[in-house]
């Protein structure tokens, strides 16, 4: 098997191994596996009863060996099983395993498929199959034909730390932003350079769309990227991204190599085709040719990694790229009960670009999905916890998952779970109390309550330039002993220290509700936050906004800090029995639970506020919801807060439900609502016509927002915290609705804005 999942470092250390040593599948690794299939041993050979093992659509895919084939594999439809049995069928039909190329996205996926196929065929059945990721496959062929790559071209592949060190040295040599503590870390620079290459878009465009707060460094980033490429060429080095583009260059510039590859691989299979980027799509077309036996397996409805460079149009355009493509749909779902699938089918029905599919299950009966409207985002956390406790009577906790669009959305639920002592594990984003910026903000509040809290002093004074651990202890001692002379002298020498101490003193004097105090903390701390964490300032700012929402539920500081501090110790293992799962939707892909609860299904949260700028991004948000819903085997709960707390106006404002929910037929869910006592009661669902009309209006507004006419009409403005934004609408009371890249939509008083001409 072509060994996959290596880090570039491992690739570099193994570069002298012959190609055959890394492309042959070793079935000895299967000795602990178990085969669950109908096989018959006839004259010493294994014969597989495909008709007994596969449903009609799977069987068609397995037995179609000639020409281009596109298998649209709906969620939970047995995609892996289909690939495994097709490999086995190819060999059983008498073709050499050497003629099979299996391209996957992870080492784990390739190994699983090859192991399972080997259990069908026997130990030697798959010896010689090439299987692995695009990157490891590219590396093997580049190494084999290194002499064709040109003089001075090496095959030393740098690992991440090597590449980051080079970027750091380049910045130093170019004297870029010398002494600027707000300049992004080298890992961030390298990540953006990599994203630019994988998406094949200008670095400036990537910055403006995904890291607007860093656009002031665009010219510096361009210089670093240019010198980084020059450095690699000069020293005969490759990074991970170079492997794919290097293979493309080898195949296009040397037709004899391409012909060798095509003659070797008669049967090409690509897994998760919806996740391929542009260069991967071109490589597939190069290797397969116009008439090659290429089978792409994937689901356009599960294409959710555009931020990594995945391009959904690769799978959507497959029939055009390969004329005569046979499209086979795997629609029988082996995971979910039919009521869940009825709802997910309805979500996809309104998609603009798609391959039509209708998922069905033999499990015709199951609980009807519930659409639960809570009074507010603040009461949503309690409603979710109550539902978890109710479901726990039927399912173990580890079979229940709460899913959300962004990591910080789960913070109120984490607090509620900690208060009740309910164990949970979180995937995707840090746990609330683990985030450094949250700890910083809370440290200000803790010191107003307890000036002897030395860990909080260490947190807040540690970021001040010129103040080390020993000095922090001296300052702390001076405060505790009322050494005014020392403090006056220290404040005179370090203005930042004076500002911090004066601010803390004013906090103690003014007091107020937790929300009011935290609002003052955030105003003071956000400029520090931007300097301290320039790489992901918008994400951390969102975390502070969520902390503000939590604080608004408390009347006294002691209770607020007490509940926030009730954190559970983290354990090492990934899977924990009897432990609730909290996960972002992206981290949930490929997983399943008996019960799934999806929260914050309102505009600006799900879909994300960033999606308002692009109809294409809005469609990806729809696919994200589809992925989230199809994780559920039995129960599916959709939570819609009716109002959302605005930390600027300090009031809860009405929230519009997600437009994807507004399109759902009433027959696909039960409507529930939270009453004034906090209980969930059945309610009469709203008429679908105005709901669908609202969804259509949202789409239209999205398209208008993204258009040049509206931006030219309303112009742009600047805000002290959010930076430059596009004015979407002028509201009553001198208020404006503004889209700030990296922050999303905000409604702000004109007094706090600087308008551009």
Residues making up the annotated binding site are 73-80
CA–CA separation, 539 and 720 (whole Å): 17
Altogether, the residues listed in the chain come to a count of: 757
CA–CA separation, 624 and 482 (whole Å): 57
Strands (E) across 299-387 are located at: 326-330, 370-374
Give, in order, the Cα–Cα distances in Å from 419 to each of 347, 378, 388. 35, 15, 14
CA 451 from centre of chain: 40
Tokens at 248, concatenated? 């493309």
Nearest to 632 by CA among 408, 341, 273: 341
Nearest to 657 by CA among 669, 667, 649: 669
CA–CA separation, 497 and 486 (whole Å): 13
Q: Do residues 554 and 514 lie in contact, with contact meaning Cβ atoms separated by under 8 Å?
A: yes
Q: DSSP class of residue 458?
A: H
Which residues are CB-neighbours of 712 under 8 A, at least 6 positions away? none
Phi, psi values for residue 14, rounded to 5°: -110, 15
CA–CA separation, 140 and 15 (whole Å): 9
CA–CA separation, 504 and 561 (whole Å): 17
Residue 594 is inside which H or E element, if any? strand 593-598
CA–CA separation, 664 and 138 (whole Å): 44
Task: Look at phi and psi of residue 487 and say left if phi exceeds 0, alpha if psi is from -120 to 50, else beta.
Answer: alpha
Cβ burial of 256 (10 Å; 0-12, 13-18, 19+) is exposed
Tokens at 121, concatenated? 């065929």
Name beta bridge partners: 755: 717
Taken in order 394, 396, 399, 405, the sign of the CA dihedral is positive
CA–CA separation, 581 and 270 (whole Å): 31
Q: Do residues 682 and 674 lie in contact, with contact meaning Cβ atoms separated by under 8 Å?
A: no
Nearest to 601 by CA among 428, 347, 342, 372: 372
Work out the end-to-end distance of the chain between its first and last CA atoms, rounded to an integer number of angstroms.
62
H-only helix segments in 322-410:
338-349, 377-391
Nearest to 542 by CA among 729, 533, 621: 533
CA–CA separation, 635 and 513 (whole Å): 39
Which residues are CB-neighbours of 401 under 8 A, at least 6 positions away? 580, 581, 582, 583, 588, 591, 593, 595, 596, 597, 631
Taken in order 97, 103, 108, 109, the sign of the CA dihedral is negative
Contacts 24+ apart (CB under 8 A), 551-556: 551/513, 551/514, 551/515, 551/517, 551/518, 552/378, 552/514, 552/515, 552/645, 552/647, 552/650, 553/378, 554/513, 554/514, 554/515, 555/513, 555/514, 556/513, 556/514
Give, in order, the Cα–Cα distances in Å from 578 to each of 415, 589, 597. 19, 21, 17
Binding-site residues for ATP: 73-80
CA–CA separation, 105 and 128 (whole Å): 20
């Amino acid at each position: 098997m072509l060994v996959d999942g290596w880090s570039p470092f491992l690739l570099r250390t193994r570069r002298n191994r012959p190609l055959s040593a890394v492309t042959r599948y070793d079935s000895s690794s299967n000795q602990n596996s178990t085969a669950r299939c109908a096989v018959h041993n006839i004259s010493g050979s294994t014969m597989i009863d495909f008709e007994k093992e596969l449903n009609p659509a799977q069987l068609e895919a397995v037995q179609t060996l000639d020409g281009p084939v596109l298998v649209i594999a709906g969620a939970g439809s047995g995609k892996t099983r289909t690939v495994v049995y097709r490999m086995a069928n190819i060999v059983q039909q008498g073709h050499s395993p050497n003629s099979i190329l299996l391209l996957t996205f992870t080492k784990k996926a390739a190994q699983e498929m090859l192991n399972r196929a080997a259990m069908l065929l026997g130990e030697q059945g798959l010896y010689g199959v090439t299987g692995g990721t695009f990157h490891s496959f590219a590396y093997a062929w580049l190494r084999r034909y290194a002499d064709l790559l040109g003089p001075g071209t090496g095959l030393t592949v740098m690992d991440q730390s090597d590449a980051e060190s080079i970027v750091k040295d380049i910045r130093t040599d170019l004297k870029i932003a010398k002494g600027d503590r707000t300049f992004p870390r080298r890992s961030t620079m390298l990540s953006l350079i990599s994203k630019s290459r994988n998406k094949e878009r200008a670095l400036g465009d990537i910055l403006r769309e995904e890291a607007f707060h860093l656009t002031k460094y665009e010219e510096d980033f361009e210089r670093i990227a240019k010198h980084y490429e020059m450095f690699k060429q000069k020293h005969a080095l490759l990074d991970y991204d170079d492997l794919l583009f290097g293979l493309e260059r080898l195949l296009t510039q040397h037709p004899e190599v391409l012909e060798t590859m095509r003659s070797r691989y008669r049967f090409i299979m690509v897994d998760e085709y919806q996740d391929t980027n542009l260069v991967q799509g071109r490589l597939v077309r190069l290797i397969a040719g116009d008439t090659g036996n290429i089978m792409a397996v994937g689901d356009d409805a599960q294409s959710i990694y555009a931020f990594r460079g995945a391009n959904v149009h690769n799978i959507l355009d497959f029939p055009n790229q390969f004329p005569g493509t046979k499209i086979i749909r795997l629609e029988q779902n082996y995971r979910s009960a039919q009521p869940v699938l009825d709802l997910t089918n309805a979500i996809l029905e309104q998609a603009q670009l798609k391959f039509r599919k209708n998922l069905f299950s033999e499990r015709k009966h199951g609980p009807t999905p519930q659409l639960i409207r809570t009074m507010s985002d603040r009461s949503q956390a309690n409603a979710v916890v109550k539902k978890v406790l109710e479901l726990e009577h039927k399912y173990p906790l580890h079979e229940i998952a709460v899913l959300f669009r962004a990591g910080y959305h789960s913070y109120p639920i984490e607090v509620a779970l900690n208060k009740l002592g309910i164990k949970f594990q979180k995937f995707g984003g840090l746990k609330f109390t683990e985030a450094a910026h949250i700890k910083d903000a809370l440290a200000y509040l803790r010191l107003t309550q307890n000036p002897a809290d030395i860990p909080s002093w260490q947190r807040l004074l540690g970021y001040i330039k010129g103040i080390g651990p020993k000095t922090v202890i001296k300052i702390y001692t001076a405060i505790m002993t009322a050494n005014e002379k020392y403090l006056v002298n220290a404040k005179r020498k370090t203005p930042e220290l004076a500002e911090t101490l004066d601010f803390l003193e004013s906090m103690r004097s003014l007091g107020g509700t937790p929300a009011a105090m935290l609002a003052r903390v955030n105003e003071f701390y956000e400029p520090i936050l931007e300097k301290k964490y320039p790489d992901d300032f918008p994400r951390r700012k969102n975390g502070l906004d969520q902390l503000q929402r939590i604080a608004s539920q408390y009347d006294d500081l002691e209770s607020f800090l007490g509940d926030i501090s009730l954190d559970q110790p983290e354990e090492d293992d990934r899977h924990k029995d009897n432990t609730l799962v909290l996960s972002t939707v992206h981290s949930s892909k490929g997983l399943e639970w008996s019960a799934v609860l999806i929260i914050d299904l309102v505009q600006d949260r799900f879909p994300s506020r960033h999606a308002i700028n692009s109809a294409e991004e809005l469609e990806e948000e729809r696919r994200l919801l589809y992925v989230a819903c199809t994780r559920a085997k039995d129960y599916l709960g959709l939570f819609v807060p009716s109002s959302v707390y605005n930390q600027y106006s300090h009031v809860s404002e009405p929230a519009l439900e997600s437009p994807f929910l507004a399109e759902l037929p009433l027959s696909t869910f039960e409507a529930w609502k939270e009453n004034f006592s906090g209980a969930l009661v059945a309610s009469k669902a709203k008429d679908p016509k105005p709901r669908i009309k609202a969804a259509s209006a949202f789409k239209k507004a999205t398209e208008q927002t993204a258009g040049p006419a509206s931006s030219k009409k309303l112009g742009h403005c600047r805000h002290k915290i959010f930076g430059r934004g596009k004015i979407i609408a002028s509201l009553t009371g001198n208020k404006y609705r503004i889209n700030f890249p990296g922050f999303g939509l905000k409604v702000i008083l004109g007094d706090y804005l600087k308008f551009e001409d």
